[in-house]
């Protein structure tokens, strides 16, 4: 399997490109037929209406034009044009179905290549999230230190009013409280596989990972 290098895009995968090009070609063919259809339909309507004036048939009208010294072009008969139109419409239906099928195949190729990307980037993805957790724990410990500072003053009867209050910030609660916000955050990282059970216990015990 071709290694996915940094900066690689979907278009670097040969199978995905081939599937995308096939879909584009199918859409272009359908677009061409969709342009031809109204023109062919107009011809059918034109032939169908010829000779209706004065009750003349198409053959009679062409004969009259020839006797009048005009050039006569042999027009396709109605049956032939109708057959062409029906054939064109059948091709359009087939192409529309082929486009539907190829679109599904292209999405499958996209999913395959994307899975390869994600597999390669998983270590970086996990480390990024572990670093976020470390930052959250650092903020938690800093907040806990401030809380203990104020509590220590209070138990000694010292008024802490002169200390600057902390800005509005998330209240983590205490790690020992299983219902606290910090405990739920840490548990979420464990449930998603970013930390092991051993690391979870270390965090609860106040240790770093």
Each residue's pLDDT tens digit, 128-162: 999 999 999 999 998 888 877 876 776 777 777 76
pTM of the model: 0.62
Average pLDDT, rounded, for the chain = 85
pLDDT surpasses 70 at 103: yes
Q: How many CA atoms lie within 13 A of 122 on its CB side?
A: 9
Q: Say which residue, 91 or 4, is predicted with more confidence.
A: 91
The residue ranges of every structural domain in the chain are 10-120, 129-204
Instruction: Count the alpha carbons within 13 Å of 158 in the hemisphere toward its beta carbon.
Output: 9
**Owner of token pair 């806990």:** 144
Nearest to 79 by CA among 89, 70, 87: 87
pLDDT classification of 1: cutoffs 50, 70, 90: very low
Count the Cβ atoms, other than its own, within 10 Å of residue 195: 21
């Amino acid at each position: 399997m071709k290694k996915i290098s940094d900066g690689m895009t979907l278009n670097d995968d040969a199978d995905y490109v081939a599937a995308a090009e096939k879909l584009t070609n199918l859409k272009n063919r359908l677009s061409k037929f969709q342009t031809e259809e109204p023109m062919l339909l107009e011809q059918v309507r034109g032939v169908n209406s010829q000779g209706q004036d004065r009750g003349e048939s198409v053959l009679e009208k062409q004969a009259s034009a020839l006797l009048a010294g005009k050039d006569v072009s042999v027009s396709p008969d109605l049956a032939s044009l109708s057959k062409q139109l029906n054939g064109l419409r059948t091709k359009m239906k087939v192409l529309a179905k082929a486009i539907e099928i190829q679109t599904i195949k292209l999405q499958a190729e996209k999913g395959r290549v994307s899975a390869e990307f994600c597999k390669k980037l998983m270590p970086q993805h996990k480390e990024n999230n572990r670093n976020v957790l470390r930052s959250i724990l650092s903020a938690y410990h800093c907040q806990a230190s401030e809380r203990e500072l104020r509590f220590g003053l209070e138990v000694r009867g010292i008024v802490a009013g002169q200390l600057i209050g902390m800005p509005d910030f998330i209240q983590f609660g205490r790690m020992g409280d299983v219902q606290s916000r910090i405990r739920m955050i840490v548990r979420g990282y464990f449930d998603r596989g970013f930390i092991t059970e051993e690391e979870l216990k270390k965090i609860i015990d106040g240790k770093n990972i």
